Structure 1
């Protein structure tokens, strides 16, 4: 699915929440999103895949298939896992160029930063940085060497 269509789909999903969304229902929805993720292999939950700069443990891995980058991630915290899954929905399955150049407009539209503390925001931004870095590494590892 096109990356902007996926962002629009996420926006629509959050619009379907009650019109007067409160913090409790917002985070309950993020926990629900955390249950829909593809499980990460236990052996991938290691220090090499741990996202630095996060106050909660988050692991992210990537692999390349047919020129597209795919991600797997997990966290010990269900809300963090839900936040990460939002990013995986948008980024996974796209090219390195798309991943590194996409404007994540859905974050503003779903008012995510209205509900996150400074600590959550730092964690979220660290995960975005890790995803983009992994995409670049996957791209470079697959590039022919001269």
Structure 2
């Protein structure tokens, strides 16, 4: 499934109850998404894989296989795990170019900025930035291998 369809699927899930939702139910839904998070292997829970700009700690690892990027991650809080899971569900398993060029309109559609405190919203943006940076890095590496 392409990135936009995956975003639309998450938006549809949120739309079922977004207008009736309070902050507690919103957080609970996101933390439930965290139960689907592909967990990072403990060997990657290192300083090198920490995402800067996230507090508490969030780790992200990317693997490049068959021209696709696959992510695993972990976070210290259930909310962070939920955000990671949502982004990974949308972006993992796609080409570096698709990931790097993805317009992540899901953030606006599910009103993430409205429900998350400013610091946590900034953490979410840091996670998304790091996911895209991994994709760009793999994209550049593949250009050098091809040339």
State TM-score, norm by structure 1.
Answer: 0.93
**Quick one: distance in 1 between partners of 2:103 and 2:11?**
14
- State the Cα deviation string for residues 44-101 of structure 1 (Å, max 9, x = none): 1110100011121000110111111111111010101101111111111111111111
Q: Which residue of 1 aligns with 2:145?
A: 144
**Quick one: distance in 2 between partners of 1:39 and 1:80?**
12
Q: Which residue of 1 aligns with 2:132?
A: 132
Q: Does 1:108 align with 2:108?
A: yes
Q: Does 1:77 align with 2:77?
A: yes
Shift of 1:145: 6.5
1:16-55 equivalent positions in 2, closer than 5 A = 16-17=16-17, 19-55=19-55
SS in 2 for 1:107: helix
**Quick one: distance in 2 between partners of 1:61 and 1:106?**
22
Q: Which residue of 2 aligns with 1:86?
A: 86
Does structure 2 retain, via aligned residues, the 8 Å contact 1:62–1:138?
no
Q: Which residue of 2 aligns with 1:64?
A: 64
**Quick one: distance in 1 between partners of 2:88 and 2:20?**
27
Q: Which runs of 5+ in 2 are unaligned?
A: none
1:5-24 equivalent positions in 2, closer than 5 A = 5-17=5-17, 19-24=19-24
The structure with the largest helix share of the pair is: 2
Does structure 1 retain, via aligned residues, the 8 Å contact 2:112–2:121?
no
State TM-score, norm by structure 2.
Answer: 0.92
SS in 2 for 1:38: coil
Does structure 2 retain, via aligned residues, the 8 Å contact 1:63–1:138?
no
Q: Which runs of 5+ in 1 are unaligned?
A: none
Shift of 1:113: 1.0
- Paired residue total: 146
Does structure 2 retain, via aligned residues, the 8 Å contact 1:38–1:72?
yes
